Structure 1
Amino acid sequence: MLRRDRDFRRFWTGHTISVMGADITYVALPLVATLLLDTGAAGVAAIATATFLPSILLPLLAGHWLETRRRRGVMITADLVRAAALAVVPLAYVLDGLSVPLLAAVAFAVGSASTVFDIGAFAYLPTLVADDDLPQANQSMQGSTTAAQVTGPGLAGLLVQLLGPAVALAADAVSYLASAVGIGAAKRPEPLPAPPTVKPNLFSGLGVVLRNPFLRAMTTHAALYNAGAQILIVNLVVLAVTDRGLDPGWYGVALSGTGAGAFLGTMVALRLAARLGYGRAFAAALAFSTGAPLMLALIPWTGGAFGLALGGLQLAAGAGLGAANVLSVTLRQVVMPKGALARSNGGYRLITFGVLPIGAALGGVLGETIGSRWGVGAGTALMAVSALPMVLGRIRRLRTPQEARPAEVATAA
């Protein structure tokens, strides 16, 4: 029982703190550039690019490297690296050495450590809990992760307002130290991964993802969804605040509906899967996460009425997204070979996260050429198309995630 598993609870707590710290960093670093350096959009874009760049450069390398190593120690080290990188900012501020290139370097260091941490956590969890407890463990992880993502940006703003931007990042560094302590408190011995029978190459994890029909469908879906979501995000703020006159504060409140819905979705995901079957529950979740946003470009109102409609649609979409995330993580951990979890997740992450800067750039081009409303429509249309590989493929017919496990993996178990 996970409720009585102290090691899982300690790891869960540390992981949740780490996720919250990452969200605080994502919001606070650009605020440092804006408030202390008075930089414009170019400076903020440089920091954002540095944050996302490791998601393109590192997943294959990190997955390949982590496959033959114990992951818990690496995750603790990643937390310590993030804490040290963030501590540079208040120190540079005191010494009058703060600059956009320095902030971009900090963002790159934090983003790199976060990439390694996330790939390690994905591969570590199946070694910490029993196979039967894996769905519930992922539900717990996704639920607390969603809660952290909801509160993280607001906490970042509060810390910046109360402490100032530089000191806020010092407080954020402490959160990574707390995460390292929590993860380190999980004392259950982690088995050393068995050496592979055939020496894998750097791209072997990517091959696992592309060859397996279930992993291929999930990867295609996630890549298209993430690209569409970036197109949507870039244009939605212009449509809501500039074109429809929604107050920026209320715009933030409306967007928080996504997090609130995602928390609800994570809590009902396993019940839905037990009632409908795994594949049908996945399809139902996708109907909300990719279907509800289609209405955004069609909202006819302005001001507060637009904000209420936006918040309602974000709540529905978030509920589907939260449920889909729980089901997706568990299915990937079951389908990916036990001896290739880190490599395979590295390949998955390369594709699904690598599209983020592409989607953001495309969103800017579409917004400038066809307008924000049509840009929102294009983004949500791509998100809807992303569901097709899932609802038309074999995943929809799954009763349990174990049915998708390759025969050779099931025999080895």
Structure 2
Amino acid sequence: MTSAFRRYVTADGFSQFGTHVTRVALPLVALLVLDAGPLELGLLGAAEMVGFLLFGLPAGVWVDRLRRKPILVTADVLRAVSLVSVPIAALFDALTLAQLYAVAVIVSIGTAFFDVAHLSFLPSIVTKEQLPKGMGTLESVRSLAVLFGPGFGGWLVQVLTAPIAIVADAVSYLISAILLATVKAEETPSGGA
């Protein structure tokens, strides 16, 4: 596989791993720092799905009409900036449930666009013959992140506190954005625009 593909997979590994850290840390921020109850935790879980519900289908249309690499990089940066606001607010004792809900919605919108663009970008950096191996590699990375990310997230929460553990995900998105920005690819949007 090419160096572009290796960067792409490395970016995916950082992003996937960080995502699973936040899946553990964000509800724990609400629970441990803000004393959220069952209703608030349920609303936070719902906020984490809003982006997919509202933008899942339209994201596919927009991604098809635009170059995917800028969408991937923008989504990563948006998610990183949003997440880093949590430990900053916690540091100044200004964190609220409303902010957590907003962060969850922003991250889910970024993830909806990222996920659609992510797999659509793969054919731009590998040949048609390499596509099955590329998809298998990405699925292996995802599986490893699902397996080890939550445990690592729990450990970070225990060692650093929940808000600071979220920094790991923000950093993972920034690393992913930098790596993706360096991937050389020939993209041809299919829908015009």
Per-residue CA deviations over 1:224-251 (Å, capped at 9, x if unaligned) read: xxxxxxxxxxxxxxxxxxxxxxxxxxxx
Is 1:191 equivalent to 2:187 in the alignment?
Answer: yes
1:225-236, aligned counterparts within 5 Å? none
Is 1:86 equivalent to 2:83 in the alignment?
Answer: yes
Query: TM-score normalized by structure 2?
Result: 0.95
Is 1:180 equivalent to 2:177 in the alignment?
Answer: yes
Pair 194,53 (structure 1): closer, same or farther in 2 beyond 3 Å: closer
Aligned to 2:31: 34
Task: Tell me the SS of whatever aligns to 2:65.
Answer: coil
Task: Tell me the SS of whatever aligns to 1:43.
Answer: helix
Aligned to 1:150: 147
Q: Quick one: distance in 1 between partners of 2:46 and 2:98?
A: 12
Question: Offset at 1:132?
Answer: 0.9
Per-residue CA deviations over 1:113-155 (Å, capped at 9, x if unaligned) read: 0110000012111121111111111010100111011111011
- Whether the 8 Å contact between 1:78 and 1:116 is mirrored in structure 2 is yes
Residue identity in the other structure for 2:121? Y
Question: Offset at 1:25?
Answer: 1.2
- Whether the 8 Å contact between 1:27 and 1:156 is mirrored in structure 2 is yes
Which portions of structure 1, spanning 4 or more consecutive aligned residues, are displaced by more than 6 angstroms?
none
Is 1:69 equivalent to 2:58 in the alignment?
Answer: no
% identical aligned pairs? 37
Is 1:59 equivalent to 2:95 in the alignment?
Answer: no
Task: Tell me the SS of whatever aligns to 1:39.
Answer: coil
Question: Offset at 1:182?
Answer: 1.8
Residue identity in the other structure for 1:46? L
Aligned to 2:17: 20
1:2-401, aligned counterparts within 5 Å? 2=1, 5-187=2-184, 189-195=185-191
Question: Offset at 1:64?
Answer: 1.4
Residue identity in the other structure for 1:6? S
Pair 184,162 (structure 1): closer, same or farther in 2 beyond 3 Å: same
Greater relative contact order, per chain length (Cα 8 Å cut-off, separation 6+): 2
5+ residue gaps in structure 2? none
Query: TM-score normalized by structure 1?
Result: 0.45
Residue identity in the other structure for 1:29? L
Task: Tell me the SS of whatever aligns to 1:190.
Answer: coil
Per-residue CA deviations over 1:1-38 (Å, capped at 9, x if unaligned) read: x2xx1110100110121111111111110000111111
Q: Quick one: distance in 1 between partners of 2:95 and 2:63?
A: 34
Question: Offset at 1:180?
Answer: 1.0
5+ residue gaps in structure 1? 200-413
Q: Quick one: distance in 2 between partners of 1:112 and 1:153?
A: 21
Aligned to 1:353: none
Question: Offset at 1:68?
Answer: 1.6
- Whether the 8 Å contact between 1:11 and 1:185 is mirrored in structure 2 is no
Per-residue CA deviations over 1:311-342 (Å, capped at 9, x if unaligned) read: xxxxxxxxxxxxxxxxxxxxxxxxxxxxxxxx
- Whether the 8 Å contact between 2:153 and 2:165 is mirrored in structure 1 is yes
Q: How many residues align?
A: 193
Task: Tell me the SS of whatever aligns to 2:41.
Answer: helix
Q: Aligned-residue CA RMSD in angstroms?
A: 1.4
Higher Cα radius of gyration: 1
Question: Offset at 1:96?
Answer: 1.8
Q: Quick one: distance in 2 between partners of 1:158 and 1:107?
A: 21
Question: Offset at 1:171?
Answer: 2.5
- Whether the 8 Å contact between 1:70 and 1:190 is mirrored in structure 2 is no
Pair 70,95 (structure 1): closer, same or farther in 2 beyond 3 Å: same
